[in-house]
Amino acid sequence: MLFQYFLKTKELQIRKFAPILESVLESGNGVVEVPSNEWETVPDIWRTCAQKFGDRVALVDPYHDPPTNTTYNQLEQEILNFCEGLRVIGLKPEEKIALFADNSCRWLVADQGTMATGAINVVRGTRSSVEELLHIYNHSESVALVVDDPQMYGRILETFDSQATVRFVILLWGEKSSIKSEAELQKPIYSYKEVMDLGKKSRTSLLDSKDASKSSFRFRP
């Protein structure tokens, strides 16, 4: 589903969204107007799960640093923050974004957050060859990359830098310090935490500001 809204700039904004998952933002007043079991998109299930299972553990990931136990409530919020973070850094509905990473709690958040924006995931694991990943990226017309960690990005960097157009890169794990400078690469690189923080800040602004509460919303399928 898509909705359009005007902010104080009077510029028309168009956002594709998961209507149950983002029902608070949709209504503008915290009232869920659509029954939470009438899902319209796959990410909508996480709102229902949070309502039903709340503080029960949804994900256990002992293989990364830090090890993670994530409840259904926490998972819903992480997906919402990642989703909004993607919007903030420029991902648009119907665009493709490559998710080249292995299974982890953050992989699920990235996958579901991307779906919630209305963008399209192009998914592949890290064991694929650089040539295969490049072909998948270009053939799918992806515009950006979400990768497992700096080591994964380092493996594909040279080839992608010369043979693909990448708007931005997100690292699910690890820090950016071991990668060439963003200025040298001429593209922004975000850590998982940075995307989450941007999303959380934007959601708070949309929910709390007078401009958000007075925005004019128009919905269409």
Is 34 among the domain residues?
no
Whether 193 has a pLDDT exceeding 50, the answer reads: yes
The pLDDT score that the predictor gives to residue 219 is 37
Is 37 among the domain residues?
no
Is 15 among the domain residues?
no
Q: Which domain holds residue 79?
A: 42-210
Q: Under a CB-based contact definition with an 8 Å cutoff, are residues 28 and 83 in contact?
A: no
Check residues 122 and 213 and name the one with the higher pLDDT. 122
Check residues 187 and 33 and name the one with the higher pLDDT. 187
The pLDDT score that the predictor gives to residue 104 is 95
The pLDDT score that the predictor gives to residue 182 is 64
Residue-wise burial string across 76-113, b where 16 or more C-beta atoms lie within 10 A, e elsewhere:
bbbbbbbbbbbbebebeeebbbbbbbeebbbbbbbbbb
Give mean pLDDT, residues 158-163: 94
The SS3 assignment for 76 reads helix
148: domain CATH number?
3.40.50.12780
pTM above 0.85, yes or no: no
Q: Under a CB-based contact definition with an 8 Å cutoff, are residues 144 and 167 in contact?
A: yes
Rounded alpha-carbon distances, angstroms, from residue 119 to 69, 76, 110, 124: 27, 18, 11, 16
Is 169 among the domain residues?
yes
The pLDDT score that the predictor gives to residue 178 is 77
The pLDDT score that the predictor gives to residue 209 is 66
Whether 97 has a pLDDT exceeding 90, the answer reads: yes
What residues pair up with 169 in beta bridges, in sequence order? Answer: 145, 189
Is 24 among the domain residues?
no
Return the residue matching tokens 């992989």: 107
Give mean pLDDT, residues 9-35: 54
Check residues 17 and 144 and name the one with the higher pLDDT. 144
Alpha carbons 160 and 179: distance in angstroms, whole number? 14
Is 74 among the domain residues?
yes
Q: Under a CB-based contact definition with an 8 Å cutoff, are residues 47 and 36 in contact?
A: yes
Closest CA to 34 of 1, 62, 6: 1
Domains contained in the chain, number? 1
What's at 16, amino acid-wise?
Answer: K
Is 175 among the domain residues?
yes
Is 18 among the domain residues?
no
